[in-house]
Structure 1
Amino acid sequence: MNLILQSLSAERNAIDHIAALAGVAAVDISSAGRHAWRCDNVTLSDALKAQLDAACYSARIDYALLPSASKLSDFKLLAMDMDSTLITIECIDEIADMQGLKPQVSEITEAAMRGELEFNESLTRRVALLKGLDAGALQRVYDERLQLSPGAGEMLAAVKAAGIKTLLVSGGFTFFTDRMKTSLGLDYAHSNVLEIINGKLTGKVVGSIVNADEKQRTVERVCAELNITPGQAIVMGDGANDLNMMNVAGLSVAFRAKPVVRKKAGVALNFVGLDGILPILA
């Protein structure tokens, strides 16, 4: 296995300490402002993984263990969650802030992302709290608060250059995913439709909810359209409702994710940006 170490702040002695745990030396592979090191021929064991988990997290170092042959060119689709993954905010929380209800909605959002609350129920409850809000609040959130996560632009440029198709699949709303698809030049987008009547949110979602199962079905459907297998997809997410689609992917990436997602993902990026997948698949 190749062990890839990345950090925005770690000193070289911290990197060497981690490499020593794996019984190998670390070679600097930093490029384009990304600080990364590779350790070749690492023998993985449960004991070593436990050591890496503890040592790397405390030193704010991200690590990935992958077969040495893994390359970006092995993949044909990048599927991304939107809220708190491709972008830094949870859009529904920011919409709720326009109603003075952000704490109530954020609490439900967090419980759902931790896997403590069924997603359909959580979304229905959150959207209901938005009833009566002027639809102009959506544009305000998009204009004033929506920002790409660190490294998103660099990651998207690299995957597009590699000929990889892009899918934005979200438990959020089409108002945002459609605009992101256009502005970023993404190939596919799928999310929920907020009902708006006479310029006001009704507190309801139109049609079926894009939950964990639907996210998985969307990844599988797009893969079928592209005539590829889910094993040729990279899937990125942060919450429990991303786990199903991550489970069918060739590479699952947890980005600044909840513990339940970090534990189950193939790779966890806790400290570096989304472009942290590039040294891993160099």
Structure 2
Amino acid sequence: MLSNFLLPPNYALPISVNSPLFNVPGGGQLLLCSTHDAYRLREHYGCATLEAVQMQISLQEGKRLDIWQSELEAAHMNAHIFGCDDFDSFKEICESLILERIGILQVSTQPGHCRMLLAGNSDTATMTMRLRPLSERLGVDIAVTALKPSPNLAEPGLLLMDMDSTLIQCECIDEIADFMGIKEQVAVITQLSMEGKLDFAASFTERVKLLKGLDASVLQRVLDERIRLTDGAEALIRGLQAHGWKTGLVSGGFTFFTSHFEKKLGLDFSMGNELEIVDGKLTGGFIGDIVDANSKRTALLSKAKEWAIPMSQTIAIGDGANDLPMIEVAGMGIAFHAKPRVRELAPYALSYGGLDRALDLL
């Protein structure tokens, strides 16, 4: 049997213990209590059970400690908490684990990231989804993964990412529209489309029509003046490439930008929509089929097959409703700083920190 004591900041047990103590966010400690130390604590307080010890500490010392037991022999898994720096939030997360009868075997902390080794019989994907409402309320990211993650860095894999508001920090079409003085009008349509409240193909066609007559040189100005890579983007891509992974970009944006980043970042593949340009001006149209939600899903499946990469070794990252189909079919699907509906439905959600947070899950 595994016994955990969550000790608040500036609290010390009345007896010395030999069991492992781990620092936790906010200055508290987590005790992985051995059977011998549990016996000594029961003896000190004159109690038959740890539940009674918990009650005595509350009555005598005015401290409400979380003390719980779980099965040591249960399946082991990893939990990652990003953006949790205060004890009260960590305590709430532990209380959720208590309800699931999940024990904590180890804790390691660094700024912005707490990693725990857990023991419990819950499925990792189910646990992540059950903790999603809590993570939203606390303003942290919580991801539970298998002890041996899948995908992992030990084998080649495939990363496909969205571009706008994922790889880069803006929506290209909104920035292009700004040069026509209609950014606000276009941005409203973009937002509704990304939230899944408008049909993507129809809204895309409508927005592109509004760009008719704009000088094509504006595309380069947008690239030079408006577009910045998301924090951690290069670290994520370089990290995966160093382990033999394929990397690609699938975007409902424009090939002018996807092709640039394919070359800049050494990606293996990129896909986007090609704007029609005649006599140096945007016509308000585009060439070929629209890259939509189904296109992204198909690209992930076909590229994995082409490069003989099992789907369990694939990652898909995006922020909009048109990214959900590829996120849901990937070995690890991540909603990154995403719209509420996407965060709700995606297997994993990262809303704090940079793209390189994804590496911590592998």
The answer to whether TM tops 0.5 is: yes
SS of alignment partner, residue 72 of structure 1:
coil
Matches within 5 A, 1:78-227: 78-227=159-308
Percent identity between matched residues is: 43
CA distance in 1, matches of 2:247, 2:199: 27
CA distance in 2, matches of 1:175, 1:199: 14
- 2:85 maps to 10
- 2:108 maps to 28
CA distance in 1, matches of 2:310, 2:258: 24
Comparing 77-86 with 49-58, greater Cα deviation is found at 49-58
Q: Is the 8 A contact 2:80 2:113 kept in 1?
A: no
- How high is the TM-score relative to the length of structure 2? 0.72
Letter in 1 for 2:94: A
- 1:262 maps to 343
After superposition, the Cα gap between the structure-2 partners of 1:48 and 1:76, relative to the gap in structure 1 and judged at 3 Å, is closer
Q: Is the 8 A contact 2:85 2:112 kept in 1?
A: no
How many correspondences in the alignment? 278
After superposition, the Cα gap between the structure-2 partners of 1:265 and 1:42, relative to the gap in structure 1 and judged at 3 Å, is farther
The answer to whether the aligner puts 1:19 opposite 2:100 as a matched pair is no
Letter in 1 for 2:85: A
Q: Is the 8 A contact 1:10 1:59 kept in 2?
A: no
After superposition, the Cα gap between the structure-2 partners of 1:42 and 1:261, relative to the gap in structure 1 and judged at 3 Å, is farther
Deviation at 1:43, TM superposition (A): 4.3
Q: Is the 8 A contact 1:22 1:42 kept in 2?
A: no
CA distance in 2, matches of 1:81, 1:47: 25
- From 29, 41, 57, the equivalent of 2:136 is 57
Q: Is the 8 A contact 1:22 1:48 kept in 2?
A: no
Deviation at 1:176, TM superposition (A): 0.2
SS of alignment partner, residue 317 of structure 2:
strand
SS of alignment partner, residue 27 of structure 1:
strand
- Render the CA deviation track for 1:184-221: whole Å, top value 9, x for unaligned: 11111011000011111000010111011111111112
Deviation at 1:133, TM superposition (A): 0.4
Q: Is the 8 A contact 1:21 1:48 kept in 2?
A: no
SS of alignment partner, residue 356 of structure 2:
helix
- 2:115 maps to 37
SS of alignment partner, residue 73 of structure 1:
coil
Comparing 227-236 with 134-143, greater Cα deviation is found at 227-236
SS of alignment partner, residue 276 of structure 2:
strand
The answer to whether the aligner puts 1:237 opposite 2:318 as a matched pair is yes
CA distance in 1, matches of 2:141, 2:156: 22
Give the structure, 1 or 2, with the largest relative contact order (CA under 8 Å, sep 6 or more): 1
Q: Is the 8 A contact 1:167 1:186 kept in 2?
A: yes
Letter in 1 for 2:350: L
Deviation at 1:101, TM superposition (A): 0.7
- How high is the TM-score relative to the length of structure 1? 0.91
- Render the CA deviation track for 1:156-179: whole Å, top value 9, x for unaligned: 121111111101000000000000
CA distance in 2, matches of 1:235, 1:49: 17
Letter in 2 for 1:138: L
Deviation at 1:259, TM superposition (A): 1.5
After superposition, the Cα gap between the structure-2 partners of 1:141 and 1:43, relative to the gap in structure 1 and judged at 3 Å, is farther
SS of alignment partner, residue 140 of structure 1:
helix
CA RMSD of aligned residues (A): 2.1
Q: Is the 8 A contact 1:168 1:190 kept in 2?
A: yes
Comparing 89-98 with 210-219, greater Cα deviation is found at 210-219
Structure 2 unaligned runs (5+)? 1-76
